[in-house]
Amino acid sequence: MRKTSLLIGRLGVAMAATAGLVCLFLVMIVLTGGAGSGLAAWLTTLGVGVAAALWRGRAGPRTLAPFLPVALAVALTGSVCVPSVPIDRRYPTDLPFVATEHWSLTTGSRVAVYHYPPAPDSTRRTAPFVYLHGGPVRGISMLDHRFLQLLARQGYDVYAYEQPGGGRSDLLPMDQYSVSRSVRDLAAFIDHLDKGPVDVLGFSAGAVTLTQALAEPPVAARVRKAVIAEPGPMDGPTASTTGQKGRPNAGDLAPAMDGPRATRVPRYAVAFGLMRLGLLSPDSGLVGQAEGANAFAPADLGSDTASAYCARDAHRIPTEDTVDTFSFSPAPSLRVQQTIKDSPSIAERLRRSDTPAMLMIAECSSQTRHWATTILANAPAIERTQYMPGVGHRMWNSLDNNNEQACAVVDAFLQDKPAPLPNHPTRSDIPAFLHAQR
């Protein structure tokens, strides 16, 4: 019995020593900024562990027992220092149904561009149509492409480009990712297109870029009409607001997504986890942005993907991307989001914007309602709001007639036709809309 108790005690000490060294390693990752792919933190952990083992064994018989926790901790933490994917950017495969062009913008960004010309048998619309995707730094999803094809069949000359660092676009130095850079890229893209003022649809993070663009007169002058769909927070003060979201979504109901996950690999779980907690900078030396983008897979966004659908659609969520076509860059995305949180209020400038705009809000939105209603309250140029029934954050999702519903709403606004849905909520409706928890 005594031997058993002694063995349990020694095992407990060994486990505590191992846990302590692992914690030391994580602290050193934060303190060193992940320098040398985590090697600086690993060597420090090794040195402290060996010194502690020598101190523990100085008075007793010479055995390797004190070094076992060190060996275990070094093995566990060493896995955080070794890349399991290429560290140079590997871009998604080309799409079979649309050519990928690459445009060099005057901002220095080199972006992947997709063009869907109007269908030959359609009535051609007057202004080019530009799509700003969500993400913020990810590829344009297959579901987006299907929706853009539908718009082209309605006569729109559709252009879409992937934000720098996402999809098939080139990377930027980490310190150049920002929401203001995204606004400048939009202006430069329209100038490169050289077809006069354009209609712009911004979705999610793209809607934030579009909203900030409308608050910049030189950029807003390039936009004929703006569609703000399911926006995130438009600036720092808005980002700090909390409150209700839409009606129940499928976030906690959908089956787990199949496929590989970077977040199950110790290296990327540690890196992305510390970044998300704000303990590690997106430009740290632990995982470079190219490696992070190569490692991230569709299943890593499984819960976010599910939350973009209504609860009733939990068991029929479509595939947004395959492993070969998916692209999401976590570190630049976090950096862009941080620049939004740090940005000053744009409310006063937005109130002076005269670019006609429409706001689209989803019934089962996973976005905080105040993000959309704050834009509505401060943008007098918003001419109509369309509350989209039966859909979540991903409003065009190829389920039922959701693509056709979104297309009809967008087309009616851009062509000055009567809205297919009630204009709701209006500015005066905002308090009642929020109180009704819709």
> What is the per-residue pLDDT for 210?
98
Which residue would you say has higher pLDDT here, 365 or 257?
A: 365
Distance CA 40, CA 27 (A): 12
Per-residue pLDDT tens digits for 258-267: 888 998 999 9
CA distance 107 to 67: 55
Which residues have a Cβ under 8 Å from the Cβ of 400 and sit 6 or more positions away? 390
What integer pLDDT is reported at residue 163 of this predicted model?
A: 97
Helices (H) and strands (E) in the chain, counts: 16, 8
Q: What residue has token string 């590690």?
A: 280
Instruction: State the average pLDDT over residues 134-151.
Output: 96
Average pLDDT over residues 344-350: 97
Tell me whether strands 158-161 and 198-203 are parallel, antiparallel or unpaired: unpaired
Catalogue the E-assigned strands of 82-215: 101-104, 110-116, 129-132, 158-161, 198-203
Query: What is the Cα–Cα distance from 63 to 10, expressed in whole angstroms?
Result: 14
Exposure of 115 in the CB half-sphere (CA atoms within 13 A): 10
Output b/e per residue, 178-205; b: 16+ Cβ within 10 A: bbebbbbbbbbbbebbeeebbbbbbbbb
- Which helix (H) or strand (E) segment is 313 a member of? none
CA dist., res. 160 & res. 116, Å (int): 9
Helix (H, G, I), strand (E, B) or coil at 141: coil
Residues 6 or more apart in contact with residue 6 via CB below 8 angstroms? none
Q: Which residues contact 248 (CB under 8 A, 6 or more apart)?
A: 310, 311, 364
Question: CA 160, CA 131: separation in Å to the nearest integer?
Answer: 5
Question: Hey, what's the torsion of the CAs at 91, 94, 98, 102, to 10 degrees?
Answer: 40
Residue 396 to residue 76: CA distance in whole angstroms: 44
pLDDT of residue 18: 84
CB 241 within 8 A of CB 233: yes
pLDDT of residue 16: 80
Residue pointed to by tokens 């299907």: 146
Question: The tokens of 272 are what?
Answer: 């992305």
Indicate whether 257 pLDDT > 60.
yes
> How many other C-beta atoms lie within 10 A of the C-beta of residue 24?
17
- State the pLDDT at residue 55: 77
The answer to whether 385 touches 421, Cβ cutoff 8 Å, is no
Q: Could you give the CA distance from residue 87 to residue 377 in angstroms, rounded to a whole number?
A: 45
Alpha helix ranges (H) inside 245-400: 266-276, 289-295, 302-306, 330-342, 347-351, 369-378
Report the alpha-carbon distance of residue 166 to residue 211 in Å, rounded. Answer: 21
pTM of the model: 0.93
**Is 123's pLDDT higher than 70?**
yes
Residue 308 half-sphere exposure, CB side, CA atoms within 13 Å? Answer: 22
| Structural domains for the chain | 2-81 (no CATH), 101-254+307-435 (3.40.50.1820)
Instruction: Give residue for tokens 């070794």.
Output: 82
- pLDDT tens for 281-321 read 999 999 999 999 999 999 998 889 999 999 999 999 999 99
Span 195-247, pLDDT tens digits? 999 999 999 999 999 999 999 999 999 999 999 999 999 999 999 998 889 99
Confidence at 74, pLDDT banded by 50, 70, 90 = confident
| pLDDT over threshold 70, residue 58 | no
Residue pair 367/233 in contact (Cβ under 8 Å)? The answer is: no
* Cβ atoms 322, 213 nearer than 8 A: no
Sign of the four-CA dihedral 249, 251, 254, 260: positive
